[in-house]
């Protein structure tokens, strides 16, 4: 029996992504606490992202806080939109405008 070619699906053109960016408190050697970004998580849709925000807000994770953003990206063209903030919870870095 021959194996089928199972290349990963690749979408071309602009793609909308929902991303949860969590943050952790880290303590340096001199005892200073700083807020650090943890690895971002791709969400299935905005509702999934909001569920994750709620979980962080309820204290069910090790995260201090998180941003939920929506971005549109076209990697082939190198185009990336400014993030649209869908929500935030807990301790997050101040956003410079």
Q: Which tens digit of pLDDT belongs to each residue from 16-33? A: 999 999 999 999 889 999
Q: Which tens digit of pLDDT belongs to each residue from 49-75? A: 999 999 999 998 999 999 999 999 888
pTM surpassing 0.85?
Answer: no
Four-point Cα dihedral 78, 71, 24, 38, nearest 10:
-40
- For the chain, which residues make up each domain, given as ranges? 22-85
Cβ neighbors of 88 (< 8 A, separation 6 or more) are 53, 65, 66, 67, 68
Phi/psi for 59 (5° steps) reads 85, 15
Residue 71's pLDDT is: 94
Residue 13's pLDDT is: 80
């Amino acid at each position: 029996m021959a194996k089928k070619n199972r290349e990963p699906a690749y979408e071309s053109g602009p793609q909308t992504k929902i991303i949860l960016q969590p943050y952790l408190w880290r303590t340096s050697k001199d005892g200073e606490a700083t807020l650090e970004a943890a690895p971002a998580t791709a969400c299935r849709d905005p509702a999934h992202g909001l569920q994750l925000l709620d979980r962080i807000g309820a204290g069910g994770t090790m995260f201090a806080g998180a941003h939920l953003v929506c971005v549109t990206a076209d990697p082939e063209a190198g185009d990336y939109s400014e993030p649209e903030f869908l929500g935030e919870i807990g301790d997050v870095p101040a956003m410079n405008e």
